[in-house]
Structure 1
């Protein structure tokens, strides 16, 4: 609680904690079970939360409204939504009681690669829709069957089926053709940036650490995102700043230090150049205070 009995705003960091009967690294649950787990762990599902694991949400009936990093979306019947580790998201809990669906959660590294699509809701058409549903049913069946295979074989089966499901969904919205070397360069840059953006704000530092030239990083980032390497880096810092401004009560000076700026004035200049407002002006507007 804050001053005068007011509840302090914060982002809830949610660690991976499967059910007791779940295999190591992955879990499958429905919306009812999600509500039960949230209540058991004392997590308000309607409040901002930052999980350290993947979510793949499939709605089988009704509509699930969801917010992922300031983007509101409505996942309709038959739709899929991926939320990656570290993103801040919120449920509309009323929808969890009226809609029906399945959520697959897994730790980074459980399958060889992240889902090759963004977090925007996917609404597959046939034949992709039927194939994805069938794969999910098979995954859920194998997940629940803990006795017919040795544990190592059980885990390998789940990894393979989850990989098939992600691969099938990746072809719902085909990616543009791009070169494998550029994709690998961008993936390495993106991973390094996600790890170090709070302390390193210069593309040249990432280039040196990864063994590329800044120009190579920019070419790869342009091919993958349509933005330069510097724009991509600045957008990630700005997103984290906005998360902290909206979902916590941290001061602009606190956020400046958290994000590695030498002075709060440097952070204020950075934010205004990229958003057009000061950090506190953005907070007030985002919270509906002006």
Structure 2
């Protein structure tokens, strides 16, 4: 595992992933012990923002982890999932052990059932599993770890599709109860933060189609939220009308399409305010507001505080 920083006007380490020699499969299986060995200087305790997924299972020990302004206690039976872009800190994992899986965005099968959970920017970072789910999750993680180790040891045994499917099995096993898609049930508190173009779709799509419509909208929002703040723009790109996007998003998250988009913009704004020294006006620019006053009005309406007051209470968290 090689973690590389790129320069940003921020106190947050921007982490890029490059596989260790001979392990370029899109996924890598480590452990908390290996993390400590690679980080003798303890930089893991500072805020960092990976561009890859980190999925960890706490097999033993106790500690703490912070993600997007929330501190999480760690103990046996716990799951940690840091998605790309989340600002987090391993505040105390000196006594924690268990598997640590790193994987690149897009490594999971694109049309598989695990992909929506991987794409959910609002999903929780930590949760506990019951005993039965935990035992099966460890089996899934161990199977993935053994296949990964075999692939590294003998390239003839390497099979990225097999590793991707084993990772999918692990993801589905560790999801919280009822969390086959985590969607909007986690859009509260501090976690707040398609069709064919030209062939506009209307009508009342069924459950499966609504799920696919929301998935397309979710992906588009993640790529464009700092450029386009209007649902009509996404509707035009995806080939659906605004009402169709709103129905699909509400079915998946409990929020309308505009509310979902606004919450994604707000989450990014909070990350910038908490973890950078950028002036409020620059933070506004980074999330697509040319006018700082409009950004302040938006933030006040969504968060209940001005950007400056919110930053004062969350800086460095």
Would you say same fold, with TM above 0.5?
yes
Q: Does 1:158 align with 2:159?
A: no
Cα offset for 1:104?
Answer: 0.3
TM-score with structure 1 setting the length: 0.87
Structure 1 partner of 2:117: 116
CA distance in 1, matches of 2:106, 2:156: 21
**Contact 2:108–2:167 under 8 Å retained in 1:** yes
Structure 1 partner of 2:172: 167
Structure 1 partner of 2:58: 59
CA distance in 1, matches of 2:179, 2:264: 25
**Contact 1:115–1:167 under 8 Å retained in 2:** no
CA distance in 2, matches of 1:27, 1:19: 8
**Contact 1:128–1:172 under 8 Å retained in 2:** no
Structure 2 partner of 1:240: 268
Q: Does 1:260 align with 2:288?
A: yes
Structure 1 partner of 2:240: 212
Structure 2 partner of 1:188: 216
Cα offset for 1:199?
Answer: 1.1
TM-score with structure 2 setting the length: 0.80
CA distance in 1, matches of 2:238, 2:74: 38
CA distance in 2, matches of 1:47, 1:114: 29
Structure 2 partner of 1:28: 29
Distance 1:115 1:66, change over 3 A: farther
Distance 1:171 1:235, change over 3 A: closer
Distance 1:171 1:70, change over 3 A: closer
Q: Does 1:144 align with 2:149?
A: yes
CA distance in 1, matches of 2:209, 2:298: 32
Superposed CA RMSD in Å reads 2.3
Structure 2 partner of 1:3: none
Q: Does 1:130 align with 2:151?
A: no
Distance 1:212 1:136, change over 3 A: same
Q: Does 1:284 align with 2:308?
A: no
Structure 1 residue corresponding to 2:103, chosen from 96, 101, 106: 106
Distance 1:32 1:21, change over 3 A: farther
Structure 2, unpaired ranges of 5+? 1-8, 182-205
Q: Which runs of 4+ in 1 moved over 4 A?
A: none
**Contact 2:77–2:131 under 8 Å retained in 1:** no
